[in-house]
Amino acid sequence: MVKRIVVIGPESTGKSTLCEQLAAYYQTTWVPEYAREYLTRYGTSYQHSDLLTIAQGQIAGEDKLAQEALAADLPLLFVDTDLYVMKVWSEYVFDQCDQWILNGIATRKYDLYLLCNIDLPWVKDDLREYPDEAPRRELYNIYRDLMINQTVPWVEISGGYNERLQKAITAVDMLLKK
């Protein structure tokens, strides 16, 4: 059985970097955020219906890589964002969320969440939308509330890149000891 560890949080909080570092440390694979691929290909002028397509692409990629990890006898899979991210994005931008996403949140199983704080400097790129402190803090608090109100263990990840990696490794090692 492959343990799935999800790295979530607002944009520009080091999720992809942390996934890549953890995958290298544990000699396994990780699932990139499909939204980046989608928005790079189709542009940043998206509609609510695009978020369902992105969510389905994220899950398809995750399931494919989970099967590959299982076949290669890898014990861990790091996931850069999940359906909670799609829920937050949908509700924050469009005040609604597709039922498929909500159903997926209720049925998909994960082993650990790593919630990235906003204490890293925001890095501009063409896909990011919220450089200001207020929406970043608001989004972080939404993610934190989601973590508090679900049953999967979670750990807040904060500090510089090295500190974040060490906190994440400690959390994953604890998971592996169970």
Please write the tens of the pLDDT for every residue from 88-136: 999 999 999 999 999 999 999 999 999 999 998 876 776 656 667 888 9
Position 121 scores a pLDDT of: 81
Separation CA 19–CA 79 (nearest Å): 7
* CA distances (Å), origin 16, targets 115, 131, 137: 12, 18, 19
Q: What six digits make up the tokens of 161?
A: 């890149």
In three-state secondary structure terms, 66 is: helix
pLDDT tens-digit map of 12-22 = 899 999 999 99
Domain ranges of the chain: 3-177
pLDDT tens-digit map of 31-78 = 999 999 999 999 888 999 999 999 999 999 999 999 999 999 999 999
Pairing mode of beta strands 29-31, 76-80: parallel
- CATH number, span 3-177: 3.40.50.300
Given phi > 0 = left and psi -120 to 50 = alpha, else beta, which region is 159?
left
**Does 87 have pLDDT greater than 90?**
yes
